[in-house]
Amino acid sequence: MFRGPFLGGISLNEKKIELLAPAGDMERLEMALAYGADAVYLAGTTFGMRSFAGNFSPEELKTAVELCHGKGVRVHVTCNTMPRNEEAARLPEWLEYLDSLGVDAVILADMGVFSLAGKYAPHVERHISTQASVVNYQCARAWYDLGAKRVILARELSLDEIREIRAKTPKELELEAFAHGAMCVSYSGRCLLSNYMTGRDSNRGACAQPCRYQYALMEEKRPGEYFPIFEENGETYILNSRDMCMIDHVGELMEAGLNSLKLEGRAKSAYYAAIVTGAYRHAIDAAMAGEPLDPVWRDEVEHISHRHYSTGFYYGQPGQFTEDSRYIRDWQIVAKVLSCDGEGNALLTLNNKFSTGDTLELVGPDVRPVSFQVGELRDEEGNVLEQVRKPQMRFTLKLPQAAPPLSLLRRQVDLTP
Question: DSSP readout, 125-146?
Answer: EEEE-GGG---SHHHHHHHHHH
The three-state secondary structure class of 348 is: strand
Q: What are phi and psi of 391, to 5 degrees?
A: -55, 135
Distance CA 337, CA 340 (A): 7
The Cα–Cα gap between 416 and 413 comes to 9
pTM of the predicted structure, to 2 decimals: 0.88
pLDDT at 12 (0 to 100)? 47
Backbone angles phi, psi at 316, to 5 degrees: 120, -170
By the 8 A CB rule, do 7 and 255 touch?
yes
Strands 150-152 and 174-182: parallel
201 contacts 187 by C-beta, under 8 angstroms: no
How far does Cα 116 stand from its chain's mean position?
27
Other CB atoms within 10 A of residue 334 CB:
21
The alpha carbon of 63 is separated from its chain's Cα centroid by a whole number of angstroms, namely: 21
Rounded Cα distance, 336 and 131, in Å: 35
Alpha-carbon distance of 15 to 34, in angstroms, equals 23
| 393 C-beta neighbours (distance < 10 Å), count | 15
pLDDT in tens, the chain (417 residues): 333 444 443 344 456 899 999 999 999 999 999 999 999 999 998 775 555 556 899 999 999 999 999 999 999 999 988 888 988 899 999 999 999 999 999 999 999 999 999 999 999 999 999 989 999 999 999 999 999 999 999 999 999 999 999 999 999 999 999 999 987 777 776 777 888 788 887 766 677 777 777 777 888 888 888 877 766 666 666 677 778 999 999 999 999 999 999 999 888 899 999 999 999 999 999 999 999 999 999 999 999 988 888 899 999 887 776 666 676 778 999 999 999 999 999 999 999 999 999 999 999 999 999 999 999 999 999 999 999 999 999 999 999 999 999 999 999 987 766
Is the torsion defined by CA of 407, 40, 24, 176 positive or negative? Answer: negative
Burial code of 253-288, b = ≥16 C-beta within 10 A, e = fewer?
A: bbbbbbbbbbbbbbbbbbbbbbbbbbbbbbbbbbbb
pLDDT at 22: 96
Q: How many CA atoms lie within 13 A of 131 on its CB side?
A: 22
The pLDDT, as a whole number, for residue 45 is 83
Q: Look at residues 314, 321, 325, 320 and name the one whose alpha carbon lies nearest to residue 155.
A: 314
Q: What percent of the chain has pLDDT over 70?
A: 89
Instruction: State residue 232's pLDDT score.
Output: 64
Answer whether 275's CB lies under 8 Å from 28's CB.
no
In the prediction, which pLDDT does 321 show?
Answer: 67
For the stretch 341-375, what's the b/e string if a residue is b when 16 or more beta carbons lie within 10 angstroms of its beta carbon? eeeeebebebbeebeeeeebbbbbbebebeebebe
pLDDT of 120 reads 98
pLDDT of residue 323: 65
- Amino acid found at 142: A
The helix or strand, by DSSP H or E, that contains position 162, with its residue range, turns out to be helix 159-167
CA 158 vs. chain centroid, Å, equals 20
